[in-house]
Structures are given as structure tokens and as C-alpha cells.
Amino acid sequence: RAKNRGKNTFQFYTADMNASAMARLKLEYGLHRALTRDEFQVWYQPKVDLASGRLEGMEALVRWQHPEMGLVSPVDFIPVAEECALIVPLGAWVLSEACRFTRQLQADYDFSGRVAVNLSGRQLKFGNIVDTVQQILQDSGLPASCLELEITESTAMDSDQEVGRALEGLRSMGVTLAIDDFGTGYSSLAYLKSLPVQVLKIDRSFIADLHQDKDDAAIASAVISMGRSLGLSIVAEGVELPAHRDFLRAQGCHMAQGYLYGKPMPAEAFRRYVQTFEAQG
């Protein structure tokens, strides 16, 4: 009987695997098609200077408008795009879209902010990223000083020589480099300081409860003060409440990004957001 059950379990497992492999294949196929069918969009989320309340810039966040599934979250498709290498052309598309949009904002409004674009490790290793960025800046007319590239803490920890070389190349072009989701990996600030990085983004998991959790508050203020003393610019992500803002400002955090200031929004809506900011002076 045990043998039978084992067999049934095995059959069930196989069927299950086939189903998920099918779903996965469909997603992969859909992703490849999406790039040629123009189904991706870039949305923008404001980033605000905590001391002055001024709009400092925005983060570009990709969205997939699937014909049947509707809006798909990058949390669901970026990992797949990374595995099937589609992240290289997709990432380049996001970059060029974001640079073009930002250049247009500068032309139309009194906007001098920076746009931050997420890069995955694969783009740094195999994407010929330095040439790609240089070409995109040239085509869009956006100054390198107006582009910030975000890499996650785990990508930054990758000791691959190619990653280090790519970061040095980007930095020497005048692009700003940021460590994203800081605190979720196991890197030390001392190690990060050996990289050509200027900005540290504290992961939102430390921000959410800092007004009621002493440990999170302690971690956030330690990161802020150590980061500051290393000359880094500190951004808090996931700032949702006035209590978050007040705490972070008191601790000397430079910038904030989160629902308190605005959710990620389509390009046209962000354009209106900039207009409103400009009108307020």
C-alpha cells in the first residue's frame, strides 16, 4: 500500500509540475510577445526631499498591460524575464523610455529632477550595459547627471568582476548609482563603501512599522547615521504615514518615496503631478 501511495504521489506531483511548467511557458511566451506588441508601460513614483518638501525626482517602474490578465505586477514577471534573459532588451527599453520622458519633462517644465531606473544583475553581467546607457543618453539628450541606476543589495554583493567593472564604467560616465532594498541582504556598509555608490535606499520592510516597533526604528536610524557619515545620500522607501516622515526627517534621512507622496502612476499622470508641484512653487 505504501508503494501504491508513493506511486500516486509521484503521478500527482508530475501532473502538478506539468501544469506549472505550462503556465510558466505561457508567461515566457507572453513576455516575448509583449515587447513586440508594445504591452509594457513605464510608471513613475515621486521621490521627495524631506527637509524642503521639494520633488527630487522619480523612480521608473515597469508595468505589463496583458490583453487578458490586465495589469501584471513586476514582482510576478521580472524574475521570469531575468531567467529567460528577456530582461536585457526589456531593461534597455525601460531605460530609453524613462530617459526620453525625463528629457521631455525638462523641456516642458521647470524640472531638474533625476530619474531612477532599476537594473538587474543580468544586465550588468551580460547586457553590455555601459554602451547601452551611453547610447540611450545620447539618443534622448538626457544629461548623465539626471540618471540614477538602482541595483539591489544582492546584485551589489556579487563579486563577479564584470559587475564591478560595469559599475565603475557607469559611474565614470557621471551616472548616479543607488543600492536598492538595503537591509534585506547581508552586506555591510563598509563593503558598499568600496563600490562607486552614492545613494542608499532603505528597504520598506524597515519603514512600515518604525512608528510602533522599537527595533525597526533603531535599525532605520542606525542605517541613516552610518550612511550619512559615509557620505551617502539616504532614501527611505515605503513612506506611507506622516509619522514615518516625521521620524525620518528628525533622523536626518534625505529623501522619501512612498504612498504618502504618491503611488506609481502612468506617465501622463506624473506629468500632471510635476505641473502641480511647479504651480506650488
What residues line the site for ligand C2E (CB under 6 A)?
45, 61-62, 73-75, 78, 91, 94, 118-120, 150, 180-181, 204, 237-240, 257-259, 264
CB of 139 to ligand C2E, least distance (A): 18
Which listed residue (102, 118, 120, 155) binds Mg ion by CB under 5 A? 118
Angle between helices 2-36 and 74-83 (to 10 degrees): 90
- CA 243 to chain centroid, in Å, comes to 24
**Binding at 102: pick from Mg ion, ligand C2E, none (beta carbon under 5-8 Å per type):** none
Backbone angles phi, psi at 121, to 5 degrees: -55, -35
Q: Which among 5-13, 82-90, 230-238, 245-253 is the span making contact with Mg ion, rule CB under 5 A? A: 230-238
Based on CB atoms, which residue is closest to ligand C2E, 78 or 219?
Answer: 78
**Binding at 162: pick from Mg ion, ligand C2E, none (beta carbon under 5-8 Å per type):** none
CB of 13 to Mg ion, least distance (A): 34
**Binding at 244: pick from Mg ion, ligand C2E, none (beta carbon under 5-8 Å per type):** none
- Rounded to whole angstroms, the Cα distance separating 47 from 61 reads 13
Q: Enumerate the H helices of 53-142 as residue ranges.
A: 74-83, 87-108, 121-126, 129-140
All 3 cell numbers of residue 50? 524631506
Residues in 124-183 that interact with Mg ion by CB under 5 A: 150, 180-181
Residues present in the chain in total: 281
The number of beta carbons lying within 10 Å of the beta carbon of residue 88 is: 19
Name the strand (E) or helix (H) holding 178.
Answer: strand 176-182
**Binding at 259: pick from Mg ion, ligand C2E, none (beta carbon under 5-8 Å per type):** ligand C2E
Based on CB atoms, which residue is closest to ligand C2E, 62 or 156?
Answer: 62
Based on CB atoms, which residue is closest to ligand C2E, 109 or 267?
Answer: 267
Based on CB atoms, which residue is closest to Mg ion, 56 or 181?
Answer: 181
- Rounded to whole angstroms, the Cα distance separating 58 from 245 reads 17
Based on CB atoms, which residue is closest to ligand C2E, 30 or 238?
Answer: 238
CB of 257 to ligand C2E, least distance (A): 6
Which one, of 202, 103, 195, lies nearest residue 145 by Cα? 103
In order of 12, 87, 276, the CA distances from 125 in angstroms are 39, 12, 40
Q: Enumerate the H helices of 141-256 as residue ranges.
A: 153-157, 161-172, 189-193, 214-229, 242-251
CB of 8 to ligand C2E, least distance (A): 39
Q: Which residues bind Mg ion (CB under 5 A)?
A: 118, 150, 180-181, 203, 237
